[in-house]
Structure 1
Amino acid sequence: MKTLKTFALTTVFSVVTGGGSWLTGTDPHSRLPELELMAGGAAVAGAPATPGRLVAYDPSGDGRAIEVFGDLATARHIAVLVPGTGWDLEKLIEGSRQANPVDAAQRLLPVMKSMAPDARTAVVVWLGYDAPESIDRQAFRSERAIEGADALVGYVRTLPAGASITLVGHSYGSVVIGRAASRLPQVSDIVALASPGMDALSVADLGTGARVWAARADDDPIEFTPHLRWIGYGHETDPIAPEFGATVFRTGPVHGHGGYYSKGTECLDNLARIILGRAGEVTRVSSGLS
C-alpha cells in the first residue's frame, strides 16, 4: 500500500511541476535584509509581549523573530529550533497552531531541568527566515532554505563559545539546517523531525562533523513526500532511510505532522537527551519506523 501511495504521489508531483507558472514562476519574495540582533541578548524594545525574550524582531512582510528561553549568556547546552512551512511572525506570536515552536521551547526546558537540574540550558526559537507559506512551489524548492541557511549560520556564530549547540529542524526547517550544516563546526548535534529531506543524499553529503538524528511519527503524511531531486524540485533522501545514515530515534505515541513536542512523550524526552549530550540514553530504532 505504501509503495502504491508513494508512486501515485510521485506521479502527481511530476505532473504538477511539469509546466505552467507553478514551475517557471519566480519567488515573489525578494531576498530579505539581515535580521538585526540586539546586543548582549537584550530584548527588543517595543516588540510584542511573548513568553520568552525577543532578541530580534522584524514585522515587515511575513515577519521574522528570534525568541530565547533561559539564560543564553551562561547556557552550556543550547537548542535552536527552526520551524518549517507555514510559520510566520503572526502565528508565532499568537501561538495558535499545533507544533508551535514557542510551546516546544517551553516544554523542552522543564524536561531538561528534570533530567539535569544543575545543567545550564537555553532554547532558541529561530524564525529568522521567510518560510514557505504553504505546501506550494516554494516548499518543494530550496531557495527559501538557501537564504535561511545564510541567516542561520550568521546567528549560530553569535552563540556563546564552548556551548554545546543542537539544531532541531521541523519539516522544511530541516532543509534550512541541511543547507547550513557544513558551515557550522561548532554544532554538536543536528535533529531532523518530520523532514522532507535535507537537500543531501546522505549524512556524509551534509559535510558536518555533528551527530545527525532523525525521527518521524508513524502516521505523519510527510512520509509520502517524493524523495528525489528533479529540475530544482525535491529535497533528496529521506533522513530516516537507512541509506541516509542518520541515527533514527523513537518518537513514541506522537501523531501527525505536528505532534513531536507533545508533553510526556518519548520524542520530547529523546530531544532533551540529545540536547543535554546524553546520546547513549536516546532510545533508537534500527529501521525507519518509530
Structure 2
Amino acid sequence: MRTARWGRGGLMVAVAAAVVLSVTAGARSAAGAPVPPRLPAVQAGTLQERYAANRGYIAESERAARRIGDRDRERHLRQLNAPGRNFLSFSPHGDGQAVEVLGDLTDAHRVVVLVPGSDATVDTFDFLGSHQASLGGGARALYAELNRLSHAPVAVVAWYGYRAPRTMSTDVATTARAEEGGGRLATLLGELRDANSRATVTFLCHSYGSVVCGEAVSRMTFRTASGLDGIAVFGSPGMGVRSLSELPVRIPVWAGRGAGDWIAHAPHVSVSVLGETLGFGTDPVSASFGATSFDAGTGGHSGYLVPGSLPLRNLALIGLGRGAEVSHG
C-alpha cells in the first residue's frame, strides 16, 4: 500500500483512472489466455506435480501475452518462470494471482506465510517501487533471514492469493476484498497442514494484508486454527476488529509500525455504509488492541523487509517462534 498527496478533484480522477487501467489490463491479459491446468489437491506427494503444472501454465501465459503484444506482462511472467521457482497456484487473468513457495514445504519445521497489501499484482510480484517492497523480493529477504537465524529447515509462502485492491481505488477503504481473501487464506492453512502436519505456521501480514489476516482468523475455530502459531501485522491500518478479544480463537498476535510509516495517520474507524464496511477498526499498535508490540525500526511503509534491518530480524524471529528474542517497540 503506497500513498501520495492529492486534492479532492485529483483523487477522484486518479481513482477513476485506476479503475479504467485495471479493467483494461484484465481484458488484455484474458484475451487468448491458456486453459488452466487440472491441479491435484495440496498434499505432500503432489507438490512437485503442482509446481510442474503451474510452471507450464506460466510459460503458456507468457507466450499468450507475447501474441497479443502485452510486453509488460510477458516480461513479468518470464521472471516468474525463472529456473528454480515453484508456484503452488497461479492465474494470469486480470491482475493475476501467484503463490510462490521458497524452501521445502514437506520438510520444513516452520512455515511463514507472507500476506501482501494493496497494489500486489502478477506484474508487481517481483518489483513494487523496489525489490524488497514487492511480495517476491520481501519473501526472499525473509527466507534468507530465517535461514540465517535457524538451523532447522524452514519455508516461506509468498501468498498473492486474493484480489488485492489498488491504493488509488475505493476498494482499499473497505473490507470487501479482505473478506474474500480471508476465506482463501483460511483454506491455505488447511492445505499447508495437508502438505506437512508437523510444521507450525505463522502469518506475517503487511498493510491491507493485515485486514485479510484478521478476516481469516475471524472464520476459524479451535480445530481449523490448528497449526497456526502466531500472526504479526506491520504497517497495518487495522485488522477489522476493535480488539483481539473479538477474535474467536486465541492466537499470539504481534504488531509493529515503523517510525516513518505514513499509515500512522490513517483514521482508525469502522462504519457500515450501504452494506459496505469502511475502515478497519482499532490501531493494532495501540495498547487497547491487545497485541504484543515489536520494534519495527525507523523506516517507512515499504521498509519492513529490507535485508539487514531490525524489523526483518524481528519478523523472522516471530516466524521462528522465538518471541523472547524479539525487541519490543
TM-score, normalised with respect to structure 1: 0.82
User: 1:45 pairs with 51, 55, 77, which one?
Assistant: 55
State the partner residue of 2:225.
185
Larger % of helix: which?
A: 2
Cα distance in structure 1, aligned partners of 2:166 and 2:140: 25
How far residue 37 of structure 1 moved from its aligned partner, in angstroms, is 5.7
Q: Deviations over 1:18-44 (max 9, x none)?
A: xxx9xxxxxx99xxxxx9865422311
Q: How many residues align?
A: 257
In the alignment, does 2:129 pair up with 1:97? yes
CA distance, structure 2, for counterparts of residue 199 and residue 238 of structure 1: 10
CA distance in 2, matches of 1:162, 1:227: 38
Q: Distance in 1 between matches of 2:258 and 2:304?
A: 8
Q: Are positions 1:278 and 2:322 aligned together?
A: yes
In 1, Cα distance between equivalents of 2:88 and 2:288: 39
Q: Indicate the residue corresponding to 1:220 in structure 2.
A: 261
Deviates more, 1:36-45 or 1:59-68: 36-45
Q: 2:64: which partner in 1?
A: none
Q: Aligned to 2:278, what secondary structure does the other structure show?
A: coil
Structure-1 separation of matches of 2:112 and 2:321: 11
Q: What is the aligned partner in structure 1 of residue 243 from structure 2?
A: 202
Shift of 1:203: 1.1
Equivalent of 1:113, from 143, 147, 165? 147
Residue ranges of structure 1 left out of the alignment (5+ in a row): 1-8, 22-27, 30-34, 286-290
**Percent identity among equivalent residues?**
34
Amino acid corresponding to residue 122 of structure 2 in structure 1: L
Q: Answer with 1 or 2: which has the greater Rg.
A: 2
Q: Which among 187, 201, 206 is matched to residue 154 of structure 1?
A: 187
Kindly provide the amino acid, as one letter, of the partner of residue 202 in structure 2.
T
CA contact (8 A) 1:36 1:56 kept: no
Which of 151, 159, 181 pairs up with 1:126? Answer: 159
**Does residue 168 of the first structure (1) align with residue 204 of the second (2)?**
yes
In structure 1, the partner of 2:90 is 57
Shift, 1:96, TM fit = 4.3
Q: Give the distance between the partners of 1:124 and 1:45, measured in 2 at CA.
A: 16
Cα RMSD for the two superposed structures? 2.5
The aligned residue for residue 268 of structure 1 is 312
Does the Cα contact within 8 Å between 2:116 and 2:205 map onto a contact in 1?
yes
Secondary structure, counterpart of 1:151 in structure 2: helix
